[in-house]
Structure 1
Amino acid sequence: MMEDFYNQINGIASTYGTDTIFILGKGPSADKVPAAVYEGSLVIGINDAERIYPAAITIFHAEWVKQALTVEGARAHLYLTSVDFTAAGAQTLWAPHLSLGQESGDLMMQRLFSGDFVIEDVLFVSALKVALEVARRRGRPQKVYMVGFDFTPGAGYAHFEGGHYEAGDEQTRRLVIGMQENFLLNALYMTRDSEIEIVHVGNRNYSGLTPEELSDAFLPNGPRNDRHDWKVSVVAEITTNHFGDRGRLERMVRAARNAGADFVKVQKRNVDTFYSPEQIAAPYKSPFGTTFGEYRHKLELSGDDFSFLDSLCKRIGIRWFASILDEESYKFILDFNPELIKLPSTISEHTDYLAKVAAGADRGIVISTGMTNQNFEKWVLETFSKVPRLYLMQASSAYPTPAQDCNVAVVRHYDRLSRQHPHIVPAYSSHDEGWFGSALAVSAGARMVEKHVKLGNTEWAHFDAVALDLTTPDFRDYVSKIRESEIVLGSETKAVAPSEHHKYRRPEN
């Protein structure tokens, strides 16, 4: 039973690619930490601290929190609580609440390291237990920053709209807060040499960082710009390794967003018409049946699934589009009005279908050029001359692509074409290992790069050999390298940089 409980917690945690966890309280120091610091990391909120930043996991036991979240709207993805609580679009896991008695403090600290999960009176202890479990399941240490735990009753609370606080009398508050500070000191001592390193953020003598130092550590150049200020769009290519599982799809989308991707991309095909009857009936070993048709049918997203994907992406702030492999699927996907349509290398010889898309397209079209040559390029330029945007995506359809077959220089050719034809957008689809080829593509002029992603390893899944695992920092590191490439590439306009100065300046007359 407890294994299922922790599996659900881990399902949420696995969508974050860093080894950093934030536990968020409501002390006033939380106001000094920009929201961008938390991006991409697992955030565990105490009571209604999710109003400060939309936590992935919220822990509470008080009825007033339930009422506040019901009135103001829940923002977390998972709730760990001892009360009867549900929220649209969120999961809830119930656990018993154990009150803190006169002699039960030692038992509470013992439960931090062993025993079933409970909702402690000192909620951050339950949050630390979650962090410990995440570290154990990830198999590597986690750094846990505690933000908004100031233990100064007279300083008040963080300022945020919709906040609610149970104040009580001043003396009681001081006793409770002082008691909680003692438990934090106890936790700092007991977790030494454990799977988690706790860093208290504040101005106490035991604090590891001030709020300002935390901000400088995560945002050395000041608060991050919005992700869409970047000129290069990064696409997390999910393909079909969501396996038709909506929960798995959501985890992948959230993980891609948390890693910094601009888009996620899925696929759509009509299995019954795209494949021949012989292919559909052929034996095939998978978890979904004994034929190739049973396997392929399971991987396809339904209309309800696409509605779910569209709603999810709008809610969490990431865009989506799909590779569409046949005409019936193209008509199907238009009902969801994606901003882009991709026509993959797989169907580069299906020119009748491609021409029909070109004739009526009123949005950007992404064409992957794997397994094609200059004759295909000429045909594409003529056929798709009227589309609003044409993303020409250099690709090699080898999985993985050896270095000598990447031909990133083709992106430079597409960049030159874009200067003659402004509707062309140079792009690169990475089937090579790592980030290096994609970084070179950015320097050659690519304004979109895409990379296969996966959620753990599955022996039978397609393309997982080249995909980056969303349960590790790999895809986040890939995105970081693309952004670093953009920064280093800079501007084509030659000018004196702010960091330059003349060592031997000529004296003025």
Structure 2
Amino acid sequence: MDAFWSRIADIASTYATDTIFILGKGPSADAVKKEVYQGSLVIALNDAERIAPADISIFHADWVKQGLAASGYRSRMYITSTDFSAPGRDVLHAPHLALSQESSDLVMQRFLAEDFAIEDILFLSALKIARIVAQQRGRPQTVYMVGFDFTPSAGYSASIGTDFAPHLSDEREAKISLQEFYFLNTLYFLQNTDLSVKHVGTRAFSALSPDGLNRLVLGAAAGKDGVRYQTQIVAELTTNHFGDRVRLEKMIRAAAAAGADVIKLQKRDVPSFYTKEQLTSPYRSPFGSTFADYRYALELSSEDFAFVDRLCTELGVEWFASILDKPSFEFMLQFSPRIVKLPSTISEHTDYLDFVAGSYRKAVVLSTGMTDQSYERWVLATFTRCEKLYMMQANSAYPTPLTDCNVGVVRHYQALSFKDPRIVPAYSSHDFGWKASAMAIAAGARMIEKHVKLGNTEWAHFDAVAVDLTTPKFKEFVDALREAELIVGSEEKQVNASEHHKYRRTYAA
């Protein structure tokens, strides 16, 4: 059983939110926007993955296999009592306990026990998974029940199309009525626990409507009162994924769930970027005994970047990479990047920088650590063809002392942007915390970059300033910056709706 829950924990750990969706097939699910599910764990019942992609699907009936095949297998994991298998998907098997008159009073007792079984009342099994996730995360979870209309005559979601279930109408009505009884019973049992279950619909016991859920989730993503933020927050993964695609996916999902707008990676051509002496030098890691073993293992392949592209599209976030050399630049062109970054590390590689400036027409992010005004003048004279030039103030010390953050440089870049609208002020945070980044927003930054990691690893390059995605710290960083942008507000002086005159002057006719 420990291995069973461990595999579920691996799925759940790819999300940083404390929100879980359980998806049924009722027509009210059609009113919930697909973006609502992004960034949170989704558990689908039977073939409800046909409505929206899920992380985990639970079923025990053989007819469900036809529905899943019709959807093209949209879940990452399946939990079933059948002989089901799906190419490239994780499948866990658990016993099915059929409901009978004699066992009905034991259903809720099993729900509170540790052992797992697939109940006839499938949402009870889904809620049990949610309870275990809450225990593993060590904090309460909010569960939204979507598509549970408990109205047989309403039919199914329009996304279902062909119904493969063999139920007769009277049998279906009896089962759905029974589900509503158990749902209300479950709400009672879960009072004062680590699960807050909210029904999405129009019933008397519904916590909110489908449209209310859209506003709650998407409105929060857009900002308070629907504000659309101008500053992009970049989660810089560096090579803290260690070339492991599972770890990479966890980091991307967690960063997106915390509110990042952009995921950033790195690409370098190991044999040409490092000297032979550097590559053959001893280095202890799980990948071998030399620095070359370590560096080669960290590099992502074209298949890895294609995976990143698909995942970021699914999550609704952008991605780009720091590209450190010409072979890597040519490699990355296969993905038609909208943005490339040229980091401080290569500020002296002027031949390569000049090549990018002459051949690339889209947006360039240029970090200015370890450089002075002479470099700035060279950059402005060289990068004249790109559609946008993000001038990113950075200090290359990790961590950067507060006295060396020099957020005032961001204000200087903002002044440059008034003369050249292609220039976008930006700030790369190598300091601890959020204060310097919040001040950079006040100085005009429209992109903030922050290093992130997934836990601590003894053998990897030490990254003291990276925010741990296994904690709430990155979400707190994002929230602080969003609040800072709200506080900065508009540069246009106007009377706000919150203002009123205590003493209103009366003008003579």
Same fold, judged at TM 0.5 (above): yes
> Do residues 366 (structure 1) and 373 (structure 2) align?
no
Q: Distance in 2 between matches of 1:404 and 1:476?
A: 26
- Work out whether residues 34 and 223 of structure 1, in 8 Å CA contact, stay in contact via their aligned partners in 2: no
- Work out whether residues 368 and 429 of structure 1, in 8 Å CA contact, stay in contact via their aligned partners in 2: yes
AA in 2 matched with 1:196 = L
- Work out whether residues 39 and 315 of structure 2, in 8 Å CA contact, stay in contact via their aligned partners in 1: no
- Worse-superposed segment, 163-172 or 329-338: 163-172
Indicate how the Cα distance of structure 1 residues 124 and 466 shifts in structure 2: closer, same or farther if over 3 A, else same. Answer: same
- Work out whether residues 188 and 198 of structure 1, in 8 Å CA contact, stay in contact via their aligned partners in 2: yes
Q: Distance in 1 between matches of 2:491 and 2:31?
A: 37
> Do residues 177 (structure 1) and 176 (structure 2) align?
yes
1:447 equivalent in structure 2: 446
- Work out whether residues 141 and 196 of structure 2, in 8 Å CA contact, stay in contact via their aligned partners in 1: yes
Note the C-alpha offset of 1:38.
Answer: 4.1
Q: Distance in 2 between matches of 1:404 and 1:284?
A: 34
Q: Distance in 2 between matches of 1:401 and 1:236?
A: 18
Note the C-alpha offset of 1:184.
Answer: 2.7
Note the C-alpha offset of 1:267.
Answer: 1.0
Q: How does 1:420-431 map to 2 (within 5 A)?
A: 420-431=419-430
Provide the TM-score with structure 1 as the length reference: 0.88
Q: Distance in 2 between matches of 1:453 and 1:435?
A: 13
Number of residues paired by the alignment?
A: 507
Indicate how the Cα distance of structure 1 residues 85 and 223 shifts in structure 2: closer, same or farther if over 3 A, else same. Answer: farther
Q: Distance in 1 between matches of 2:397 and 2:26?
A: 53
Indicate how the Cα distance of structure 1 residues 250 and 228 shifts in structure 2: closer, same or farther if over 3 A, else same. Answer: farther
Q: How does 1:285-324 map to 2 (within 5 A)?
A: 285-324=284-323
Note the C-alpha offset of 1:190.
Answer: 3.6
- The 3-state SS of whatever aligns with 2:234 is strand
1:491 equivalent in structure 2: 490
Indicate how the Cα distance of structure 1 residues 203 and 355 shifts in structure 2: closer, same or farther if over 3 A, else same. Answer: closer
- Work out whether residues 391 and 424 of structure 1, in 8 Å CA contact, stay in contact via their aligned partners in 2: yes
1:119 equivalent in structure 2: 118
1:231 equivalent in structure 2: 230
Q: Distance in 1 between matches of 2:7 and 2:145?
A: 23
- Worse-superposed segment, 309-318 or 10-19: 309-318
2:144 equivalent in structure 1: 145
> What are the superposed Cα offsets for residues 92-139 of structure 1, whole Å, 9 maximum, x if unpaired?
434343322332335443443445433222111111121122112212
Q: Distance in 2 between matches of 1:150 and 1:190?
A: 21
Q: How does 1:85-100 map to 2 (within 5 A)?
A: 85=84, 91-100=90-99
Q: Distance in 1 between matches of 2:20 and 2:458?
A: 30
Note the C-alpha offset of 1:245.
Answer: 0.9
Q: Distance in 1 between matches of 2:451 and 2:367?
A: 14
- Work out whether residues 409 and 444 of structure 1, in 8 Å CA contact, stay in contact via their aligned partners in 2: yes
Cα RMSD between the aligned structures?
A: 3.2
Q: Distance in 2 between matches of 1:33 and 1:54?
A: 13
Note the C-alpha offset of 1:145.
Answer: 2.9
Note the C-alpha offset of 1:166.
Answer: 4.0
> What are the superposed Cα offsets for residues 309-363 of structure 1, whole Å, 9 maximum, x if unpaired?
2333334433221111222222222232222221111222222322222222222
Indicate how the Cα distance of structure 1 residues 83 and 468 shifts in structure 2: closer, same or farther if over 3 A, else same. Answer: farther
Q: Distance in 1 between matches of 2:114 and 2:500?
A: 62
Indicate how the Cα distance of structure 1 residues 90 and 38 shifts in structure 2: closer, same or farther if over 3 A, else same. Answer: same
Q: Distance in 1 between matches of 2:222 and 2:392?
A: 32
Note the C-alpha offset of 1:188.
Answer: 3.1
Q: Distance in 2 between matches of 1:57 and 1:435?
A: 35
AA in 2 matched with 1:57 = I
1:282 equivalent in structure 2: 281
> Do residues 419 (structure 1) and 418 (structure 2) align?
yes
Indicate how the Cα distance of structure 1 residues 104 and 32 shifts in structure 2: closer, same or farther if over 3 A, else same. Answer: same
Q: Distance in 2 between matches of 1:247 and 1:506?
A: 69
- Worse-superposed segment, 54-63 or 297-306: 54-63
Indicate how the Cα distance of structure 1 residues 419 and 88 shifts in structure 2: closer, same or farther if over 3 A, else same. Answer: farther
AA in 2 matched with 1:305 = D
Note the C-alpha offset of 1:266.
Answer: 1.0
- The 3-state SS of whatever aligns with 2:403 is helix
Note the C-alpha offset of 1:37.
Answer: 4.8
Gaps of 5+ in 2: none
2:67 equivalent in structure 1: 68
AA in 2 matched with 1:129 = K
Provide the TM-score with structure 2 as the length reference: 0.88
Indicate how the Cα distance of structure 1 residues 409 and 71 shifts in structure 2: closer, same or farther if over 3 A, else same. Answer: same
Q: Distance in 1 between matches of 2:413 and 2:82?
A: 58
Q: Distance in 2 between matches of 1:165 and 1:271?
A: 53
Note the C-alpha offset of 1:154.
Answer: 4.2
Q: How does 1:216-295 map to 2 (within 5 A)?
A: 218=217, 230-295=229-294
- Work out whether residues 394 and 410 of structure 1, in 8 Å CA contact, stay in contact via their aligned partners in 2: yes
Q: How does 1:361-440 map to 2 (within 5 A)?
A: 361-440=360-439
Gaps of 5+ in 1: none
- Work out whether residues 223 and 482 of structure 2, in 8 Å CA contact, stay in contact via their aligned partners in 1: no
> Do residues 129 (structure 1) and 132 (structure 2) align?
no
Q: Distance in 2 between matches of 1:260 and 1:84?
A: 39
AA in 2 matched with 1:438 = S
- Work out whether residues 399 and 463 of structure 1, in 8 Å CA contact, stay in contact via their aligned partners in 2: no
1:23 equivalent in structure 2: 22
> What are the superposed Cα offsets for residues 476-499 of structure 1, whole Å, 9 maximum, x if unpaired?
333333333333333322333344
> What are the superposed Cα offsets for residues 414-468 of structure 1, whole Å, 9 maximum, x if unpaired?
1111111222111111122233322222221111111112223323333543222
AA in 1 matched with 2:285 = S
Q: Distance in 2 between matches of 1:162 and 1:224?
A: 36
- Worse-superposed segment, 383-392 or 143-152: 143-152
- The 3-state SS of whatever aligns with 2:100 is coil
1:476 equivalent in structure 2: 475
Q: Distance in 2 between matches of 1:278 and 1:60?
A: 57
Indicate how the Cα distance of structure 1 residues 222 and 421 shifts in structure 2: closer, same or farther if over 3 A, else same. Answer: closer
- Worse-superposed segment, 419-428 or 310-319: 310-319
- Work out whether residues 455 and 470 of structure 1, in 8 Å CA contact, stay in contact via their aligned partners in 2: yes
Indicate how the Cα distance of structure 1 residues 107 and 497 shifts in structure 2: closer, same or farther if over 3 A, else same. Answer: same
- Work out whether residues 371 and 397 of structure 1, in 8 Å CA contact, stay in contact via their aligned partners in 2: yes
Indicate how the Cα distance of structure 1 residues 29 and 255 shifts in structure 2: closer, same or farther if over 3 A, else same. Answer: same
- The 3-state SS of whatever aligns with 2:381 is helix
- The 3-state SS of whatever aligns with 2:264 is strand
- Work out whether residues 361 and 385 of structure 2, in 8 Å CA contact, stay in contact via their aligned partners in 1: no
Q: Distance in 2 between matches of 1:52 and 1:90?
A: 19
Indicate how the Cα distance of structure 1 residues 174 and 206 shifts in structure 2: closer, same or farther if over 3 A, else same. Answer: same
- The 3-state SS of whatever aligns with 1:453 is strand
